Amino acid sequence: MPLFAPLPTETRHLLDGIPALIDKTFPLPGRFRPGLPADVAELSRLLTSGRGERGLSYLGRPSLLSAYLRFFLPWNLYRLCRLLPGLDLPLAAHNRITDLGCGPLTFAAALWICRPDLRPLSLELYCIDRSGPALDAGRKFFAALAGDNSPWRIHTVKGDLYTVKAQPAALVCAVNVFNEMYGDISRSGTDKLRRNAEKSARLLAHHAADSAAVLAVEPGFPRCGEFIGLLRGVLGGRGYNPLSPCPHDKECPLLDDGKKNTNVKKRWCHFAFATEDAPPALHKLSSAAKIPKERAVLSFLFAGPADTKQKKAKTAAASAEAPAVSSTLRIISDAFPLPPNRFGRYACSAQGLVLLAGHKSAIEKTACGALVHAVFKNGERDSKSGALLAELSIQMG
């Protein structure tokens, strides 16, 4: 399945019912409901411009936890339900999943909602977070969502991510976690951000079994995209291949282009998609809080153990080849007009940042996140961005 495909009917039906399920599971007295949009707006401020005021236990405040459950939890579920069906998760019966910084069990709930193929499996989920109220709410919410007959065993652990011990897992994930650790690093603090990525990679690898995959999902801001690129490089040094979204296993060209080629405008790896299929009740609350969500944005990395022999063979073959005339690309931007009557999207490739051009209808159908095959134009570069120029050949998924 392609990345960020439209929601299947069953998934959309379940997501549409989430706001009502949250209201039923966590009743909000009528006298507090008029203040909900303001609580959502305040929590949004604390998560962005006011993060210095937030504190570590902000979800321990009832008004902020209520706002999180009714606004941020459903939106995070929606983002993950657009992402997870497109990932080849290495899960089988009796496997263990470790969710670092799980909050109110967002990943577990999203996996249940959008991956019906995994619901019958006897999975064990270790959900670790420092907020007791968030874990309590997550247990209650997941029970209401999955019912009493779910074969999934949920274990919640309150504690610091770096000190909690757990058995090695087949899948280790961290969703909207690491940005809380590097959010205060200045834009010029790349070395400090790299050290943070090294620390995060050690954490993921520490909880992973030998054949495990790791998944990190972050907000789609430039700093988050840079962190994901650095994390990709560190994990590569630990023997992990990027499985998605990267169309290659070479160094991240978006980071390289910002350093080696001064003519290339700095870009970051992120994906945006329209939210017209998100729950109507959620859109209504977003409007009331003056935080409209016409598009959802995220950065992510899904990585697994590298086959060392295969990787060396691919690297040797690539070094022996002549300069590439075609390549597999991952689309990482919206469509935009190009002169004279063309349209384009930016894409990532093993050769670097690419400006993919074509007819308007073809480019618009090639959505952000799509994997495509393109033909380069004799090494030509775009004068504005410095990106390599290419023409769309085949959309692969």
Question: How far is 222 from 228, CA to CA, in rounded Å?
Answer: 10
Domain closes at, from 285, 308, 331: 308
Predicted confidence at residue 182, as pLDDT, reads 75
Residues 207 and 137 in one domain: yes
Mean per-residue pLDDT for 73-87? Answer: 97
Q: What is the tally of structural domains in the chain? A: 2
Q: pLDDT band for 320, please (50, 70, 90 cuts).
A: very low
- Domain assignment of residue 328, given as a range: 322-395
Here the CATH number for the domain that contains residue 354 is: 2.40.50.1010
- Residue 175 has which token pair? 């969703």
- What's the gap between Cα 180 and its chain centre? 15
Question: How far is 230 from 196, CA to CA, in rounded Å?
Answer: 9
Residues 332 and 215 in one domain: no
Here the CATH number for the domain that contains residue 67 is: 3.40.50.150
pLDDT tens readout for residues 117-138: 999 999 999 999 999 999 999 9
Mean per-residue pLDDT for 194-204? Answer: 95
Question: How far is 252 from 217, CA to CA, in rounded Å?
Answer: 17
Residues 268 and 362 in one domain: no
Residues 334 and 245 in one domain: no
Domain membership of residue 24 (yes or no) is yes
What residues does 271 pair with on adjacent strands?
A: 298
Predicted confidence at residue 185, as pLDDT, reads 64
Mean pLDDT check: name the lowest of 138-147, 188-197, 329-338: 188-197
Domain membership of residue 144 (yes or no) is yes
E strand intervals along the chain:
96-100, 124-129, 153-158, 169-175, 208-219, 240-244, 271-274, 295-305, 326-331, 336-338, 342-349, 352-358, 371-381, 388-395
Residues 184 and 329 in one domain: no
Residues 208 and 277 in one domain: yes
Domain closes at, from 308, 340, 362: 308
Q: DSSP label at 183?
A: T
Mean pLDDT check: name the lowest of 286-300, 302-316, 367-381: 302-316
Choice between 311 and 225, residue whose per-residue pLDDT is larger: 225
Residues 152 and 30 in one domain: yes
Predicted confidence at residue 313, as pLDDT, reads 42
pLDDT tens readout for residues 252-262: 888 854 455 55
3-state secondary structure of 24: helix
Choice between 1 and 32, residue whose per-residue pLDDT is larger: 32
What pTM value is reported for the model? 0.91
Answer whether residue 382 shows pLDDT above 70: yes
pLDDT tens readout for residues 183-195: 666 666 688 899 9
Domain membership of residue 313 (yes or no) is no
pLDDT tens readout for residues 7-39: 999 999 999 999 999 999 999 888 889 999 999
Residues 280 and 374 in one domain: no
Residues 242 and 355 in one domain: no
- Residue 367 has which token pair? 């959505």
Residues 206 and 246 in one domain: yes
Mean per-residue pLDDT for 357-380? Answer: 90
Residues 33 and 78 in one domain: yes
Q: pLDDT band for 322, please (50, 70, 90 cuts).
A: very low
Domain closes at, from 308, 330, 361: 308
Whole-Å CA distances, 87 to 91, 115, 118, 239, 305: 11, 10, 13, 19, 15
Residues 91 and 237 in one domain: yes
Chain mean pLDDT for the chain = 88
Nearest CA to 291 out of 27, 21, 33, 44 is that of 44
Domain membership of residue 387 (yes or no) is yes
